[in-house]
Structure 1
Amino acid sequence: MEVTPGLTLREMAKRAQAEFSSKIVAAELDGEVHDLQNDSKGVREVTFIPLNSKTGWQVYRRSVLFLLITAVHELYPEAEVVTQFTANKGLFCEIRQLTGHWRDMGQVEQIEQKMREIVAENRPIRKEVLSREAAVKLFEQSKQFEKAELIGNLQRSKVSLYRCGDFYDYLYGPMLYGTGDLGRFALDFEPPGVLLRLPDEGTDGKIRERVPQPKLSQILYESKSWAKILHCNYVMDLNRANREGNIGEVIRVSEALQEKRIAQIADYITQHREGARLVLIAGPSSSGKTSFAQRLRIQLRVNGMEPVSISLDDYFLSRKDTPRNERGEYDFECLEALDTELFNRDMVDLLAGREVKLPRYNFLTGMREWPQVPPLKVTPDQPIIIEGIHGLNEKLSEAVPRAQKYKIYISALTQLNIDSHNRVPTTDARLLRRLVRDYQTRGAHALKTLKQWPDVRAGEEKNIFPYQEEADVMFNSALIYEIGVLKKYAEPLLETISPVVPEYAEARRLLDFFAYFDDITAEDEIPNNSLLREFIGKSVFFK
């Protein structure tokens, strides 16, 4: 709708509310998302954002996190909330005290009670625009030094902060204007902190049920330990290493940590070769599965083994037999798009020592072919490496006994936080990888990638994430320095997206996100077998 002169956004939202089935929580002004406290002066067009939308729930989750931080501040002024990662279907937040770790169930109950009291009070969440210098001073006084340093290095003169009671914070995105609507949450005791569970666009407004994910939690804790080894817990730590000429060391240690982990996985497979005849590698989009599979193959060869690699893509059904989704488009991501009967028969024969003639899928014709090459035969000392999104799903390889399979889950689980209250979403890191790779290797522009991303994510939620705890081992492919490298590739691509398309708001959000990262230009320091090379180019594994 057109902006009405003389009315605030909040007043306009009240007039428009009757047209929406859920509460209006934010607005898109000329293609950029803002809270309802934003000034509409000079804005031509506004699109209101209801709660029951992806962006609406992002606003809600950010606001409830602010509610948690405010409650902890009022109850325990010396404690520090540090947002860590998403696991067990919630956001894990560590709560650090000067006296040690947080281990008291009663204290968590007090925090939840305080949060609900603040909700009942319906306190305003006020946005205040301060000069950059004033914001830095405010956060230095409250001992949020990493936040003060980050803001001090931003290339802007004004900063928008939010205040609830006497507590100020900077949460890098719009929030609701009052606490009265923030009652939908659950808070669990999760030493050394809490697990905050919330609704999202996939739950129809219901709070996520807690689902234990011990393996995922373990690898996420490992990723945080890597950040400590690198002395890069926050973006400003990374920027400082870059400015002081130490980024080469950060790159080398990051790569060495991954190489050591891959070698450990290879050692386990070598020592348990009878239980790892079929090595299945799965993970979400842009997690670096192909490079990981190649590096694992090399480490297995170092151990004296002779692994063979088989592409799951070659088991696609012919295009005419491929299932279609609800929009009538070919659904290449569902398990039913694969000839699982043939795959199982081939794997059973190979593991029994029989010769197998493998198919090859022609992506140009959409047909399966049988190339004129010798049949494959493997020995008991030759593990078969299979890489594909369905690797963890037992239905893919159900004819092979579980005792002969070793399943690996790989994902880019970002170790870095922007500051103590703002994490770098793993999904954003993978999206940036895909943006760059799609353009580098397929000539696809950023708009196409952004349009496809919701379908990619929906496929992951259906085909990958439900099976991740089935893995025997997990591998984190994130490199702590990678966003600073991806920035120079992704920024120009995002800048090409026009304000007239719906994806413009997402492009602007990612561009704003890049503002916190310095450019890392020391690309010569990145080895040619790095997982990052799969996305930025010059990988030894991709010709």
Structure 2
Amino acid sequence: MKITIVNPQNRSIDLTIEQAMHLEEIIRTYGVTSDTPVAAALCDQEYIRLDQMIDHSCTIFLKDVKDGYGNMSLQYSLSLLYRCAVKQVVGRCDVQICNSLSKGLFTRIIGINPTDEICHRIEEQMRLLVEKDIVIKEEYMEREPLLQVCSKDLPEVYELVNSTTDVSGAYIIEMEGVKDYCPIHVLPSTGDLQLFEVRRYRNGILLRFPDMNDPCHVPPYSPQAVLYNAFAEETKWDRLTGISGVSQLNRVVNTEKFDEVAMISDALHERKIAEIASMIKKEEKRIILIAGPSSSGKTSFAKRLCIQLRVIGMHPLYLGTDDYFVDRKDLPKVQGEHIDYEALSAVDTELFSLQMTRLLGGDMVDLPYYDFKQGKKIFGKRITSVRPGQPIVIEGIHGLNPALTEMLNEDMKLKIYVSPLTSLNIDSHHRIPTSDVRILRRMIRDYRTRGNSPSDTILSWHNVRAGEEKNIFPYCGHADVFFNTQCTYEVAVLKHYATPLLQSIDLGDPAFAEAQRILTFLQYFNEAQDDHAVLSNSILREFIGGSILVK
């Protein structure tokens, strides 16, 4: 057999192997190296487990946590290891994997008030299990055998699978008597899980691990109080809609109850936006900075905020930092090829600061409009001024970067971070990744409005995420307010639009494997056939179409 193995750094090695071997054995025997820990592998456009038997000629791509599948495989594997350690330290109890937070997962042990000592003991037990290099058992089961196993051992999973006919099967994973299901492969053994940290945070425990910025180290800890509060608020919102899990959502999709859930969810958004508008007026803020990652709904939020400000007698000026891009010839590039619109150096910060200062001083200012076809700013079409006390609402990915507004008085600013976060999880141990929701939003919107293929969206997503890690996420801790743009019912609606797009990606397309991973994620949701209950000013409309705010 002739086998080519490509590591995460795109270095390849060609091998000739006489007989079938496990992939891990091939890597060890032939000295295949990687600068980063390997979390998954792709063979013949299909993700495989690292101990998969290789019995034919092929090309195998090794993946680290920069890869979406590799990242989730690591998270699911660590979550199982963590739950085993919890059971062995504090006894049999329910563990909830709640949401992402502080470069890790925020978890709760039901009935246990975590202490620093308990967290230390859990981490030590995890490291002991890693040292033992225990095999993580994994078996794929079709739907009916899966239901039989879950009815006995995993009642919550049984309820989930039974709530939709779309789940065709899943992996049953087990280690040290702890059993669960998993939609994708996990790592073969605990010995593969070397990098993690356990620490107490408020009423829960953080399980932290490497991210795509640095797959070789657990990143420095930074508390995210604003983000934590946003998740807590979302949990309250879910209670008001009566939906606390995907199985409950599935049972109301395409019923009158679903319409009610949609209307309540959007009404909660409106109430929150009204509260922010009142805060702006009460605190006499003049510069309202709105930032967030790709497909977070910044534009719809900003325009709805402007409407609420007008309702309470204020007359905001709205503008976007995209209109301050430098000329195309001066735009920075990624690796000397693609234009990097997400770098701060792509923005004419000097002009921006000058014009904001003049506006606040009451001067008449010629605001630019950026013509993307010509690749330059156009002047003379928007000459304006603002009255004393009139707020300026500024939307753009760099809104929270201090370098953008360092010339402006801090007391004038209100910094708002916008992103779709959900406390509505698939079940107690499997969360809905924010990045998956955002890529679905972006795929649907860009196909509809820009003619971008779903394959283009998937293949460019890594660069988008890398830009966010560099230019957006480091500054989210500067936010005064967090606005969660997630709608409780959202994935059921997105599935209707995204499924045919993802299914159109064929086997020969380099985006095929990732498309299949996303389709696997979507199979746990019933599809909303009708979105008539989604209001025309809903943030979701920015992506699926029909918005009165974003054309």
Distance, in Å, in 2 between the alignment partners of 1:452 and 1:129 is 31
Q: Is the 8 A contact 2:96 2:109 kept in 1?
A: yes
How do residues 388-427 of structure 1 correspond to structure 2 at under 5 angstroms? Answer: 388-427=396-435
Q: Quick one: which amino acid aligns to residue 156 of structure 2?
A: E
SS in structure 1 of the partner of residue 173 of structure 2 = strand
CA contact (8 A) 1:62 1:175 kept: yes
Shift of 1:39: 6.7
Task: Report the 3-state secondary structure (helix = DSSP H, G, I; strand = E; otherwise coil) of the residue aligned with 1:524.
Answer: coil
Amino acid at match of 1:149: E
Deviation at 1:306, TM superposition (A): 1.1
1:20 corresponds in structure 2 to 33
* 1:211 matched to 2:243: no
Deviation per CA, 1:388-439, whole angstroms, max 9, x where unpaired?
Answer: 1111112112221111111111111123211111101001101100000001
* CA deviation profile, 1:232-276 (whole Å, cap 9, x unmatched): 222111101226541011101101111110000001111122xx1
Whole-angstrom distance in 1 between the partners of 2:161 and 2:474: 38
Q: Which amino acid is 2:218 matched to?
A: I
- The equivalent residue for 1:441 is 449
**1:384 to 1:114, Cα distance in 2 relative to 1, 3 A:** same
Residues 303-322 of structure 1: pairs in structure 2 closer than 5 A: 303-322=312-331
Identify the match of residue 380 of structure 2 among 351, 371, 374: 371
Structure 1 distance, partners of 2:256, 2:59, is: 45
1:105, CA displacement in angstroms?
3.1
Percent identity over paired residues: 39
Alignment check: 8 A CA contact 1:226 1:415 kept: no
TM-superposed deviation, 1:352 = 1.1
| SS of aligned partner of 1:508 | helix
Q: Is 1:286 equivalent to 2:295 in the alignment?
A: yes
Task: Give yes or no for the alignment of 1:530 onto 2:541.
Answer: no
Q: Aligned pair 1:85/2:95, yes or no? A: no
CA distance in 1 between counterparts of 2:71 and 2:446 reads 28
1:16-51 deviation line (CA, Å, top 9, x unaligned): 65223366553323212121455768x874514254
Shift of 1:67: 0.3
Q: State the distance in 2 between where 1:328 and 1:447 align.
A: 20
List aligned pairs for 1:47-86, cutoff 5 A: 47-51=60-64, 54=67, 55-86=69-100
Q: Over residues 174-231 of structure 1, what are the superposed CA-to-partner deviations in whole Å (9 max), with x where a residue is unaligned?
A: 1121112323211112243211111233224112221111111111221222222223
Sort the Cα spacing of 1:428 and 1:57 in 2 relative to 1 into closer, same or farther, 3 A: closer
Deviation, 1:516, is: 0.5
Deviation readout 1:82-101 (Å, 9 max, x if unpaired): 1111212221111112xxx4
How far, CA to CA, are the matches of 1:12 and 1:242 in structure 2?
47
Q: Which amino acid aligns with 2:73?
A: V
Aligned residue number for residue 177 of structure 2? 166
SS in structure 2 of the partner of residue 79 of structure 1: coil
What is residue 14 of structure 2 aligned with on the other side?
none
Aligned residue pairs: how many? 535
**Distance in 2, Cα, partners of 1:322 & 1:11:** 44
Note the residue ranges of structure 1 that are not aligned, 5 or more in a row: none
Please report the TM-score for the alignment, with normalisation by the length of structure 1.
0.92
Q: Residue 332 of structure 1 aligns with which residue?
A: 341
Aligned pair in 2 of structure 1 residues 158, 397: CA closer, same or farther (>3 Å)? closer
- Where 2:373 maps in the other structure, the secondary structure is coil
CA distance in 2, matches of 1:156, 1:387: 40
Secondary structure of the 1:428 match is helix
Structure 2: distance between partners of 1:501 and 1:521: 28
Pairing partner for 1:33 from 34, 47, 54: 47
1:181 pairs with one of 189, 192, 212: 192
For 2:213 and 2:263, the matched residues in 1 are separated by: 39
Of 124, 129, 133, the match for 1:118: 129
SS at match of 2:394: strand
SS in 1 for 2:483: strand
**1:316 partner letter:** F
Q: Alignment partner for residue 480 of structure 2, among 456, 472, 475? A: 472
RMSD (Å) for aligned C-alpha atoms: 2.4
Distance 1:17 1:27, change over 3 A: farther
In structure 2, runs of 5+ residues without a counterpart are: 5-16
- What residue is the counterpart of 1:345 in the other structure? 354
Alignment of 1:126-145 (within 5 A): 126-130=137-141, 132-142=143-153, 144-145=154-155
Query: What residue identity is the alignment partner of 1:394?
Result: P
Judged with a 3 Å threshold, the aligned counterparts in structure 2 of structure 1 residues 400 and 155 are, in CA distance, closer, same or farther, namely closer
TM-score, structure 2 length as denominator?
Answer: 0.91
The 1:213–1:39 alpha-carbon spacing in structure 2 relative to 1, beyond 3 Å, is same
Moved more, 487-496 or 115-124: 115-124
Aligned to 2:13: none
Return closer, same or farther for 1:290/1:53 CA change in 2, 3 Å cut-off: closer
Moved more, 158-167 or 86-95: 158-167
Whichever residue aligns with residue 524 of structure 2, its letter is: Y
